Amino acid sequence: MAISFVIMIVGIVLDNYIKTSFFKGYIRLAWYITAYLPVGLPVVLKGGKALSNKDFFTEYTLMVIATVGAFFIGEYPEGVAVMLFYAVGELFQENAVNRAKRSISALLDVRPETADVVKSDSLETVSPDNVNIEDIIEVKVGGRVPLDGILQSESASFNTAALTGESVPRTIRKGEEVLAGMIATDNVSRIVVTKPFGQSALARILDLVQSATEKKAPAEQFIRKFARIYTPIVVALAALIILLPMVYSTISPAFVYNFNDWLYRGLVFLVISCPCALVISIPLGYFGGIGAASLHGILFKGSNYLEAMTKVNTVVMDKTGTLTQGVFNIQKIVPANHITETDLIKLVASVETQSTHPIGKAIVAYANKQSIEITRPNTVNEVAGYGLQASINNQAILVGNPKLLNKNGITFPPEITAIPETIVVCAIDGLYAGYILVADAPKADAATAVNALREFGIKNIVMLSGDKQAIVSKLATELSIHHAHGDLLPEGKVEYIEQLKADPSNNIAFVGDGINDAPVLALSNVGIAMGGLGSDVAIETADVIIQTDQPSLIATAIEIGKATRRIVIQNISLAFGVKLIVLILGAGGLATLWEAVFADVGVSLLAILNAVRILKMKF
């Protein structure tokens, strides 16, 4: 391009300012052909390849016809300029696409190439594909975790930015899950592999990102089809601009027809009409939107879902794991008068050591965290649907729900039965000893998420859950959600979504994370999965994945979708508006090939710059 530009400028100077006798005829033609070839030859070859594939009306064909026509009528500098600026536009387009891809292709850079497998007292470096489940791998500080697994070391901090977009390192403790793509930040870690590399979280994300561009938004599909119809029409119109005046001159002798003048007008029309700005900038706009979303830990499986997010007017959310943390925590400890809080926790935790229930595990974890001594019970028997009976130091201990105490004829404060949250009651030797309230706390940004959705004009916000209606209603009141339904089986959620879909005006986004949410994720207009803790089934079924598990990013996804749509509409308006004006001027002989170049390449550049602007926006 630089060579072509210098030769063209020298030629223009020789034409207009240093007029010499030798710069004429074939020498002048050869000079401008020399300027044309570096930028024109690649386009000519692409056009020839398209023709060989029976694709006759491409942008390459239009450029070649226009520039060869310009040379035919002696407008050599303009012929070179058209191809030169087209090449410049292509360069800007390529850079813009690379810039839009950068945030997504960063994911591809996190694919580890090797894994250090622990073999006796040594390490063997192998490909991640060759590591087996239950192998132990070692990750050094600064190294990337090559496969999903369970941390064997006591604790370690990991940078999870590539997977979740989180800038703050995450501390993972022994027995917790570590995902491929994380970076060890503080010490050497050993991990027991739980999945082959092809099934790891990282591999799944890479597959989703790489396939996202295959699913086109309606605007993209339309513009591709439009270009295939539009291009042959403008070629025909350009031919008519040249031929109709010729026909008219045979009818009206007073009309003087100059073939070169009308050929020039037809070429101007042809260059202006090239649909580059539309074909390039609209897909780039959507791709930029997908890139901007990935920077925030949001993965769209296709640009069609970016478009669909802009139409959402009803958001239905699961409770556990979506609006709540999905982890039981002790909220309150209420001992009876004859026992201390510590002794109550000690007894209940001692009994619950024999339980696999999440509530029992939460109580044991709390006791360990508080360094409360746990005594191994002598005997433990489970009473299905009620709780546990145990013997500790010759004391008969009951731990379970209030029904367990009723069953054994033990009296307790009647107000306990009115508590909506989950409680664990305890009795010692037939005497009520107190209760522990265990609940799944709301996520830190749950209320922010609901308020942000309302700010976007989404009034119909619904919460569905399989949990008790009393618990669901209490959380709904805290979050200002006006429609909340509990005690639902998976088929109950499906029935509710089907009722909403019966009204065609409802465009529904469902947000969930569990296996039981997969049917409603598939049924809704847009399925959104909480990807950090969500089940594989939910993630595979969903259209949008929130890697950070933050419900507030639902509103961010809508905002990015709307910003992308605005940019696409701006580009369509810009391209059509400018082209229409210059097309009319060109057909009337008032625009030259220079204006045509601006209408084509200039508008393309403006549209491209507008499209990549989304990567700089703050959401």
DSSP states of 591-609 as a string? --HHHHHIIIIIHHHHHHH
Residues of the chain with CATH 3.40.1110.10: 325-441
Fold of 325-441: Calcium-transporting ATPase, cytoplasmic domain N (3.40.1110)
* Cβ-count burial 26-42 (b if 16+ within 10 Å, e if not): eebeebbbebbbbbbee
Residues of the chain with CATH 2.70.150.10: 132-195
Q: Which of 328, 270, 363, 284 is nearest to 597 (CA)?
A: 270
CA-to-CA distance for 284 and 278, rounded, in angstroms?
10
pLDDT confidence band for 485 (50 / 70 / 90):
very high
What is the phi/psi pair of residue 328, to 5°? Answer: -75, 135
Alpha helices for 436-552 (secondary structure H): 446-455, 469-479, 490-501, 518-523, 536-541
Residues of the chain with CATH 3.40.50.1000: 299-323+443-553
pLDDT confidence band for 107 (50 / 70 / 90):
very low
Pairing of strands 431-442, 422-428: antiparallel
pLDDT confidence band for 57 (50 / 70 / 90):
low
> Is-catalytic flag, 600?
no
Q: Which of 527, 618, 536 is nearest to 302 (CA)?
A: 527
pLDDT confidence band for 581 (50 / 70 / 90):
confident
The edge-to-edge listing of strands for the beta sheet with 379-383 is 324-335, 431-442, 422-428, 395-400, 387-392, 379-383
- Non-local (6+) Cβ contacts of 27 within 8 A are none
Q: Which of 165-169, 282-286, 475-479 has the highest mean pLDDT?
A: 475-479
Q: Are 549 and 574 in contact (CB under 8 A)?
A: no
**Per-residue model confidence (pLDDT) at position 99:** 57
**Per-residue model confidence (pLDDT) at position 144:** 84
Q: What is the average pLDDT value for the chain, to the nearest integer?
A: 82
Q: Are 164 and 548 in contact (CB under 8 A)?
A: yes
Q: Which of 562, 565, 519, 561 is nearest to 542 (CA)?
A: 519
Measure Cα distances from 239 to 50, 243, 244, 583 in Å: 21, 6, 8, 14
CA-to-CA distance for 367 and 593, rounded, in angstroms?
81
Pairing of strands 136-139, 170-173: unpaired
**Per-residue model confidence (pLDDT) at position 410:** 94
Pairing of strands 298-300, 460-464: unpaired
What is the phi/psi pair of residue 57, to 5°? Answer: -115, 75
Residue recorded with tokens 């042809």 = 270
pLDDT tens for residues 182-241? 888 878 889 999 988 777 766 665 565 555 444 545 655 565 566 667 777 878 888 898
Report which DSSP code applies to 513: -
Number of residues in the chain: 619
**Per-residue model confidence (pLDDT) at position 513:** 76
CA-to-CA distance for 543 and 540, rounded, in angstroms?
8
Count Cα neighbours of 307 within 13 Å in the Cβ-side half-sphere: 17
Average pLDDT over residues 354-373: 84
CB atoms within 10 A of CB 129: 11
Measure Cα distances from 567 to 40, 214, 433 in Å: 31, 20, 65
Least confident among 195-209, 304-318, 387-401, 407-421? 195-209
- CATH 3.30.70.20 corresponds to the domain 132-195: no
- Non-local (6+) Cβ contacts of 350 within 8 A are 374, 375, 376, 377, 390, 392, 397
Least confident among 108-122, 347-361, 368-382, 389-403? 108-122
* Cβ-count burial 232-265 (b if 16+ within 10 Å, e if not): eebbebbeebbeebeeeeeeeeeeeeeeeebbbb
CA-to-CA distance for 158 and 170, rounded, in angstroms?
5
**Per-residue model confidence (pLDDT) at position 514:** 61
**Per-residue model confidence (pLDDT) at position 95:** 66
299-323+443-553 to CATH, choices 2.60.120.260, 3.30.465.10, 3.20.20.70, 3.40.50.1000? 3.40.50.1000
With 50 as the cut, is the pLDDT of residue 515 above it? yes
| pLDDT: which is higher, 289 or 37 | 37
pLDDT above 90 covers what percent of the chain?
25
Instruction: Quote the tokens at residue 348.
Output: 């209940």
Average pLDDT over residues 23-43: 90
Instruction: Quote the tokens at residue 509.
Output: 């986004």
**Per-residue model confidence (pLDDT) at position 335:** 94
pLDDT confidence band for 277 (50 / 70 / 90):
low
With 60 as the cut, is the pLDDT of residue 456 above it? yes
Residue recorded with tokens 């901090």 = 157
* Cβ-count burial 364-399 (b if 16+ within 10 Å, e if not): bbbbeeeebebeebeebeeeeebbbbbebeeeebbb
| pLDDT: which is higher, 483 or 539 | 483
**Per-residue model confidence (pLDDT) at position 480:** 92
Measure Cα distances from 468 to 320, 322, 474 in Å: 12, 16, 10
Q: Which of 135, 318, 517, 543 is catalytic?
A: 318
**Per-residue model confidence (pLDDT) at position 241:** 87
Average pLDDT over residues 457-472: 86
pLDDT tens for residues 319-357? 877 898 877 788 899 999 999 999 999 999 999 887 767
Pick left, alpha or beta for residue 491 (phi over 0 → left; psi -120 to 50 → alpha; otherwise beta): alpha
Hey, which bits of 18-154 come out as E strands?
A: 115-119, 122-126, 136-139, 149-151
Q: Are 316 and 613 in contact (CB under 8 A)?
A: no
User: Cα–Cα–Cα angle for 105, 109, 112, nearest 5°?
Assistant: 145
pLDDT tens for residues 412-448? 998 888 887 788 999 999 999 999 998 878 888 999 9
| pLDDT: which is higher, 144 or 511 | 511
Burial class for 139, CB neighbours closer than 10 Å (0-12, 13-18, 19+): buried
With 50 as the cut, is the pLDDT of residue 108 above it? no
pLDDT tens for residues 245-264? 999 988 888 888 888 888 88
CB atoms within 10 A of CB 25: 8
pLDDT tens for residues 134-174? 999 999 888 888 888 999 988 888 876 555 545 456 778 88
